[in-house]
Structure 1
Amino acid sequence: MTTDSLEGAAKNGIRTALGLGGVLSVILGILILVWPGKTAMVVTAIIAIYAIVAGLIYAGLGIFTAGRGGWSRLGHILLGVLFVIAGIVAFMNLGATTVWLAAFLGILVGIMWIIEGVVSLSTLSLAPSKGWTLFFAIISIIAGIVLLFSPIMGAVTLWWLLGISAIVLGVIQIFRAFSFGK
């Protein structure tokens, strides 16, 4: 193969990867916007599957690793059992688990935004743009407080923003695929 044909193959591979990534992103965004609840439940199911698989691996580590001490093996087995139980409980109550995860994420993001705002305020004296830093800190703290008081609504809003972002970024990625290497 010549250098030119290798370059062409690499460009085509990158174009294909960009295009497929863009199409998958658009599909994900559409699924989030059209079926937000069902898509969130699918994500919850994937997390539940992960918990079960991770639990089996942890339990296996505890059972089959003879070189470790007793407490380490017992800890792995117990952790594995907890993961498996959590995954099974999540599957048995997929709707409730989805709502719980949404509330948890809403609260977590709210706390992070409040902390981010407070940290911004603490660095205000060092900021080159004090006005923008103060504005950011105030908005961040207010947004965090709003999320703490309505974590489900906040999580739903973030979910919709994720869907919209996935579509927009996917379309941009598809355009990049068509224009790459030209």
Structure 2
Amino acid sequence: MDRELFTSSWKMMVVRGAVAIVFGIAAIAWPIETGLALMLLWGFWALLEGISLLVQAVRPSGQGSRAGRALLGVIAVIVAFFAIFSPGVTAQTLTWIFGIWLIVRGVFEAFTAFSSYRLSPRWLLLLGAALSIVLGVFFVANPGRAAVGIAVWLGLIALCWGVVFVVAGFLHRREHNWPAAPANPAPA
């Protein structure tokens, strides 16, 4: 293995880009599995967070509420249990909650657009509000499809960023490896 792989900035950009491209393709090809894998990762993170909070709640310290940490720790462990052992239901539930949040946000944006006289492109805020409400209704009505859609969008974003990193890495390599052309060639 090349020693400079992890020290050369252009190579790291290309490696990061390649990993993002592979992840993006996998997420697009297998969106359900991607969503489930993300829920499992999130579940394990929540489990570690919950255990950490419970340990902090048991230890004597002068900072914060021990009862509050214990409550958050128990909630995190329960959520982790559902995310690990039932990732599909967890993904649908989180998508449903996200949809409700989008609807509420859209309503508040629309209210703000009509109640504030200082907003100059009011139509832009109304457009954003309408988009939030429409997406929210879609997420609430179809949490399974919405979760798959999120995984596909995540894959598309990763794929695009991966291509950007690979191209940037090779451009960076070319910029630093090729000698600079003379500024003003001497007349013959």
Q: Shorter-normalised TM-score: what interval?
A: 0.7 to 0.9
After TM superposition, the structure 1 = structure 2 runs for residues 62-73 of structure 1, keeping only pairs within 5 Å, are: 62-65=57-60, 67-68=61-62, 72-73=65-66
RMSD, aligned CA: 3.0
Q: CA deviation at 1:110?
A: 4.3
Q: For residue 19 of structure 2, what is the aligned residue in structure 1?
A: 24
- Residue by residue over 1:44-93, the C-alpha shift from the partner in whole angstroms, topping out at 9 and shown as x without a partner, is 1111111111111111111122x338x92233223222322321233222
The verdict on how the C-alpha distance between 1:124 and 1:139 changes in structure 2, with shifts beyond 3 A counting, is farther
5 Å-filtered alignment, 1:7-156, equals 13-65=8-60, 67-68=61-62, 72-120=65-113, 126-127=119-120, 135-156=127-148
Q: 1:26 to 1:124 in 2, by over 3 A?
A: farther
TM-score by length of 1: 0.73
Instruction: Select which of 159, 165, 168 maps to 1:173.
Output: 165
Q: 1:79 to 1:160 in 2, by over 3 A?
A: same
Moved more, 85-94 or 117-126: 117-126
Provide the C-alpha distance between the structure 1 equivalents of 2:151 and 2:107, rounded to a whole number of angstroms.
20
CA contact (8 A) 1:49 1:87 kept: yes
- Give a deviation string over 1:130-152, Cα, whole Å, max 9, x none: 66565555445444444444444
Aligned residue-pair number = 169
Asked if the contact 1:29–1:162 (Cα under 8 Å) also holds between the matched residues in 2, the reply is: yes
Distance change in 2, residues 1:91/1:139 (3 Å): closer
The percentage of aligned residue pairs carrying the same residue is 24
Q: 1:141 to 1:99 in 2, by over 3 A?
A: closer
Task: Flag structure 1 segments of 5+ consecutive residues without an equivalent.
Answer: 1-8
- In structure 2, C-alpha distance between the alignment counterparts of 1:138 and 1:124, rounded to whole Å: 19
Which structure features the higher share of helix residues?
A: 1
- Mapped to 1, the partners of 2:82 and 2:138 lie a distance apart of 30
Larger Rg: 2
Matched letter for residue 25 of structure 1: A
